[in-house]
Amino acid sequence: MPLRTEARVAPPEGAAESRRDFGEILAHALAERAAGRGSLPVLLGVDGPDLATLRDRWAPGLALPDLTEAAPAPLPEQQAVITLILWRAGRADATARALARIIARRALEPRHLWEDLGLSNRPALTALIARHLPGLAAANGQKMRWKKFLYRQVCLDDGLSLCLSPVCDDCPEWALCFAPEEAATPAAPATAAHP
């Protein structure tokens, strides 16, 4: 009699890319932590136990400190972005919830969102969002830069017609992000010189 075998479940589409992307996000946060910028929950906006769940799913074996620490309460604009992301995402699983909090927290930083997440480029961020927050990806039909898109959506929800993300005013690439959408803009270099 043949041995009964468990049916193998294929990994979800994009699993290798998600492992790479979450690995980059966590490595970037670890580097910032090593530079004295704060604990992982402070830097990523996610409670330690939820970071452990994210790590176990996407970066198994990666040693993470601060896993018993709670994240600070989100700032009001951060909470508005979290709410928007989860509302638009079409998912509320553990990965989607953690990614929404991470994106909202990192959007408070001064560089392009993909850079402040530690991703290799903007298309990596777009692909990560498409895999884990598909409704949000679909809502960005004009392919706006993500930080601009998120804050514009929050402002539209609040009935405002013009809204800047919290750190855009001082960015030397302001004209690129806030140019008309049909204007072609070059990809930011991997070693951006702005703050």
Question: Does this model's pTM top 0.85?
Answer: no
Q: Given this model, what pLDDT does residue 28 score?
A: 98
N-term to C-term CA, the chain: 67
93 assigned to some structural domain: yes
192 assigned to some structural domain: no
Return all residues near 102 (Cβ < 8 A) that are at least 6 apart: 25, 44, 45, 46, 117
CA dist 95 to 34, 72, 104, 177, 195, Å?
25, 19, 14, 28, 29
170 assigned to some structural domain: yes
Q: Given this model, what pLDDT does residue 13 score?
A: 78
Q: Given this model, what pLDDT does residue 155 score?
A: 80
Low-confidence ranges of the chain (pLDDT < 50): 1-10, 160-162, 180-195
193 assigned to some structural domain: no
Rounded to 5 degrees, what angle do the CA atoms 113, 23, 81 make? Answer: 35
Q: Given this model, what pLDDT does residue 182 score?
A: 46
φ and ψ at residue 113, rounded to 5 degrees: -55, -45
126 assigned to some structural domain: yes
Domain count for the chain: 1
Supply 52's token pair.
Answer: 């452990």
d(Cα 11, Cα 15) in Å, to the nearest integer? 6
Q: Given this model, what pLDDT does residue 88 score?
A: 95
85 assigned to some structural domain: yes
Q: Given this model, what pLDDT does residue 102 score?
A: 98
For residue 41, what are the domain limits? Answer: 15-177
d(Cα 90, Cα 133) in Å, to the nearest integer? 7
d(Cα 97, Cα 87) in Å, to the nearest integer? 11
